Amino acid sequence: MKIEEVPQERGMMPDNIYEVCYALDDDGHYVLTASAGWNPKNIANNQAWEVIEQETAKALNGIHAGKLSPLAFHMAKNQMNTRLLAQYAGFSRWRVKRHLKPSVFKRLNQAVLERYSDVFGITVKQLQQFPEKIEQTI
Amino acid sequence: MRIDFKHRHSAHCESGVSSNLLFHYGIDISEAMAFGIGGGIFFGYLPFLRVNKLPITTFRCEVGGIFKRVTKKLGVDVYWQKFRNPNKAMDALDHCLEEGIPVACRTGGYWLPYFPSAFRFHFNMHNLVVYGKEGDEYLISDPVFQEPVTCHRKDLLKARFAKGALAPKGTMYYLTGVPEKINLAPAVIKGIKEACRRMLKTPGPIIGVKGIRFLANRIEKWPKKLGKRKAILHLVQLIRMQEELGTGGGGFRFMYAAFLQEAAGILKENRLLDLSGKMTSTGDRWREFAVIGSRNCKNRAAESDSFEAMANILRDCANRETEIYQELMAVVH
């Protein structure tokens, strides 16, 4: 890749962020140059976010249908599954799965709720809430 | 407190951390050099290790391997530590900083607040250097960012104890002793040998150039075996592993080409320049693969962009790389 071939296709990176990449200068020497992004990469990244949004939307639908607790929304939004969330919260996986039931979640005590809210970096009150519709995550 | 630490923007976190830490102790080697001596170039398709249910493909060696090897080959002493207790891990970090030692930490990128939100994925292999602390804010030299950044204690703690695949478990490491004189040439030769050996001679089908061919065979079967949607998701993951922040593009192949160029000067061996050129064109091939892959992801694939075509590019990459490593072996024997 030559310097002039280094892609400058800004995708999801904020304006002030550049990546460094290796490219050849006119004399054929490798130098470090800044790149603002590359379309194939942006596309792949976009796709990855779409999957996360689909998962979050699925969780929200479940909540609205009364089948899932708000925990499901926060779990999906934080790109977690029950296994990962269980590791972070320090609960067993089946307990986390149980907490995804609305009836169980409603009766959880403060200490358990705090374990979850700490993981997500939100308040207990926020943990019990969920949006009507999926908002743009990024 | 603030240690006088020179932050240098790098393409990849671990080789950047290695070269920046060594530079702090007076060993001036570039990122590419650290990557090469550390034998960073690699390929592995690991279907049994999964992130978000998708198999991991890696274009670089194991986490920590680059740093471990580059320091060992240069005769630099290193101290590594893992922790069970997060608070103890933070105390140990503070203690080092007070003594004026810049400390590298392994972290999970998801919890680092200075990451642009678009890049916040559960990814547990991110290395950075902590070089100071002001109140509860740590001063961090994260090599893949242009400027040094800061991070609150509670975020850094979370990042150091990220969970999931390849959890960092609070790992931190720093240099404890540096030899007076550094001899690069033997280290370079060893680094090249090791990389070649791993790419050509690792047993089993999934590592090295054999791994690239294995992946090619798998890719051909994806659309039938997994269905369209899942095949695309697998492809997305692959492209991200190849091109994500910190690969220097072309799955580290350009970085290795840069290393070979430098190595040619150190070993006074012009054949390495040729091989650097060949490695560059292999990197370009890898990029072509990403371009076609992304067209498939966006449903803009032309007839010629089939999964078979991508598999053929991979086979071409495997052939080219086999030739390069064999010639490299001959040069450094």
The answer to whether A32 contacts B9, with C-beta atoms less than 8 Å apart, is: yes
B153-182 per-position pLDDT tens digit: 999 999 999 998 889 999 999 999 999 999
Instruction: Return all residues near B4 (Cβ < 8 A) that are at least 6 apart.
Output: none
Number of H helices, E strands in chain B: 11, 8
B198-210 per-position pLDDT tens digit: 999 999 999 999 9
Please say if the pLDDT value at position B313 is more than 60. yes
Please say if the pLDDT value at position B245 is more than 70. no
The pTM of the full predicted model, rounded to 2 decimals, is: 0.92
Secondary structure (DSSP) of A26-81: TTS-EEEEEE-B-HHHHHHHHHHHHHHHHHHHHHHHHHHTTSS-HHHHHHHHTT--
Question: A36 with A13: CB under 8 angstroms?
Answer: yes
What's the pLDDT at B39? 94
Structural domains in chain B, sorted by start: 13-41+63-177 (3.90.70.10), 184-332 (no CATH)
Q: Residue holding tokens 């220097």?
A: B248
Query: How does residue A136 score in pLDDT terms, banded at 50, 70 and 90?
Result: low
B:197-226 residues touching chain A, CB 8 A cutoff? none
B202: tokens are 């690792």
Question: Among partner residues B118, B248, B254, which is closest to A13 by beta-carbon distance?
Answer: B118
Please say if the pLDDT value at position B195 is more than 60. yes
Considering only CB atoms, which residues of chain A are within 8 Å of chain B?
1, 11-14, 17-24, 28-30, 32, 35, 38-41, 43-45, 47-49, 51, 79-80, 84, 87-88, 121, 137-138
Please say if the pLDDT value at position A137 is more than 70. no
Domain ranges of chain A: 3-37, 47-128
Secondary structure (DSSP) of B235-254: HHHHHHHHHSTTSTTGGGHH
Share of chain B above pLDDT 70, in %: 98
In the predicted model, what is the mean pLDDT of chain B? Answer: 93
Q: Which homologous superfamily is A47-128 in?
A: lambda repressor-like DNA-binding domains (1.10.260.40)
Query: How does residue A87 score in pLDDT terms, banded at 50, 70 and 90?
Result: very high
3-state secondary structure of B14: helix
